[in-house]
Homo-oligomer: A and B are copies of this chain.
Amino acid sequence: MIPIATALEQIRNTVQPWPVVSQDLISSVGMVLARDVLADIDSPPHHKSVMDGYAVRSSDIQAGCRELVVTETIVAGSSPQQSVKAGCAARIMTGAPLPEGADAVVMVEKTSEVAGAKPPQVRIDLSQIAPGHHTMSRAENYRSGDVVLSRGHQIRAADIGLLAEVGCDPVEVYRQPTIAVLPTGDELVKVDQQPGPAQIRNSNGPMLVALNQAQGLAVEALDIGRDDPAQLKRLVEQGLQKDVLLLSGGVSAGMLDLVPKVLAECGVEQVFHKVAVKPGKPIWFGQWSAGTHTCYVFGLPGNPLSSLVGYHLFVRYAIQCMFEQADQQRWSGAQLVNDHQTRGNRPTFWPGKIQVDSGMTRHVATLPWNGSSDLRALGQADCLVHFPLEKNEWQAGEPVEIWPLER
């Protein structure tokens, strides 16, 4: 049994940085940039108006000139045909390029057309205007060649706009690993079956599939592995073709806990077995290579909460290491709102509920929980609360670390 920090270090030392691929921009959300993204344009690309109105020379307004000859109309997407000379203005729309000569824009609500004037004229209802008013300078946001998003950034939906603006399609990202999920146990029946005596439905398989899919990963759900070494070996060999194989069940000390034995027979090299964490102690980690292909293998414990904690703590960390994000912070602090007692000699992760409110302090409550088989508590939880070994009695008001369970 090794400490969590040692397990993470061994994962970090085992997992290789992942290859870089070109990904269609629109399907890149959730992936991690493998290169800095440089702008290929200035933003804005030209001096521009940020209002609908009239492009003017501020010195004209300052000098008391209130009626200006309108020389042209400039819409977004068109280029000015002439410069604005003294006594003149150009009608201009939001986003359109500011014509030469003009250095400010009067919003349309502060103007009126001069009836019947030929050439057309506009009356300005302002006594002064500062140079630059309602305009933006070329490259005010960023300049061609600037880094707009850095290597290591995980792409969010909101980033797609910026990547599109700089023409970054396809985008260079770390390739997503492929995942195989292999639940094991003679007691398991499929979700659509009614469990007989001594049976339960396979809940870990679908949960692990969903957890990976929520990270944007392609997952193959393998058949349920039985307590039959030959059948289990066939399924493991199938799973080893993927980049990551996640087994659940069969890793504790029971006489039928075949997983470590079958993995060894398949040539999977063990890195660690058993970590001081509650729930989830029996977790197993190793790797298997054939030619240039490597598969990282996790044997997660069979109880659903043990599997979930193992996934969040160790599997996601391995994937972060592939993307060279081993240092990324995933915990945050919160204030415990209730007293809490832990037991035993391992750091504990307990289902908790974050209290979303308009206060500045994050509050978290621990939920009633029967242990690693109790999935109902998880349905109410939105985080795992970490209770380190230092003590067993926690008081309301104390700081704790929490790990949000996102989608």
* Closest B residue, CB atoms, query A384: B158
Please tell me if the beta carbons of A29 and B214 are within 8 angstroms of each other in the complex: yes
The interface stretch among A117-125, A196-204, A288-296 is A196-204
A156 contacts chain B at the CB level, 8 A cutoff? yes
CB pair A199 B333 closer than 8 Å: no
Copies of this chain in the oligomer: 2
User: Shortest beta-carbon distance, A212 to chain B, in Å?
Assistant: 8
Residue A127 lies at the interface, judged by CB distance under 8 Å to chain B: no
CA A407 – CA B30 in complex, angstroms?
7
A370 close to chain B: CB less than 8 A = yes
Given contacts A97-B198, A159-B379, contact A360 B399 (CB under 8 A): yes
Interface of A is mostly: loop
Looking at A50, A148, A201, the one whose CB has the most chain B CB atoms below 10 A away is A201
Q: Are B43's CB and A96's CB within 8 A? A: no
Q: Is the CB of A161 within 8 A of B203?
A: yes
Q: Is A178 an interface residue (CB 8 A)?
A: no
Residues of B within 8 A of A199 (CB): 45, 77
Q: Does A16 contact B (CB under 8 A)?
A: no
Quick check: is A239 within 8 A (CB to CB) of the other chain?
A: no
Closest Cβ of chain B: how far from A39's Cβ, in Å? 8
A191 and B167: CB pair below 8 A? yes
Question: Do B198 and A96 touch across chains, with their CB atoms under 8 A apart?
Answer: yes
Q: How far is the CB of A78 from chain B (nearest CB, A)?
A: 6
Q: Verify A252–B52 contact, CB threshold 8 A.
A: yes
| Nearest chain B residue, comparing its CB with the CB of A328 | B356
Could you tell me if B30 and A77 are in contact, using CB atoms closer than 8 angstroms? no
A370-407 contact mask (Cβ, 8 Å, vs B): 1 or 0 = 11011111110100000000000000000101000111
Does A341 have its Cβ within 8 Å of any Cβ on chain B?
no
| Chain B CB within 8 A of A95 CB | yes
Q: Establish whether residues B254 and A94, one from each chain, have CB atoms under 8 Å apart when the complex forms.
A: yes
Interface 1/0 per residue, A347-358 and B, CB below 8 Å? 000000000111
> In chain A, residues 262-316, which have Cβ atoms closer than 8 Å to a Cβ of chain B?
302-304, 307-308
Chain B residues with Cβ below 8 Å from A359 are 333, 399
A136 to chain B, nearest CB (A): 7
Nearest residue (CB) in B for A380 is: B149
Residue in chain B with minimal CB distance to A199 = B77
Which A residues are within 8 Å of any B CB, using their own CB? 25-26, 29-30, 40-41, 43-46, 50, 52, 73, 75-79, 91, 93-97, 108-109, 136, 140-142, 146, 148-149, 153-154, 156-167, 169, 185-188, 191-195, 197-207, 209-211, 213-214, 221, 227, 252-257, 302-304, 307-308, 329, 331-335, 356-362, 370-371, 373-379, 381, 399, 401, 405-407
